[in-house]
Amino acid sequence: MKGLSLFRLGSRGKPAAAEVPGDAGPAAAAQDAAPPAGDRRSTPRRDSPLVPSLRAEFMLLGRPRSFSIDDVSLGGLGLRADVEQGRGVFVGQRLARVRLVFGEQEALVADLEVRSRRNFRSFLVGEQVHVGCRFTGLGPEAEAGLQQLLAGLAQLRDSAGERR
Rounded to the nearest angstrom, the gap between the alpha carbon of residue 84 and the centroid of all alpha carbons in its chain is 22
Residue 155: what pLDDT?
Answer: 81
Q: Residue 118 above 80 pLDDT?
A: yes
Residue 108 lies in a domain: yes
DSSP letter string, 41-79: -SS--EEPPSSS-EEEEEEETTEEEEEEEEEE-SSEEEE
Residue 29: what pLDDT?
Answer: 40
Residue 2 lies in a domain: no
Please count the structural domains in the chain: 2
24-44: per-residue pLDDT in tens?
444 444 444 444 455 565 666
Mean pLDDT of 36-54: 58
pTM score, two decimals?
0.66
Domain housing 35: 10-39
**CA geometry: angle at 25 spanning 24 and 27, to 5°?**
115
Q: In terms of domains, do 23 and 61 share one?
A: no
Residue 146 lies in a domain: yes
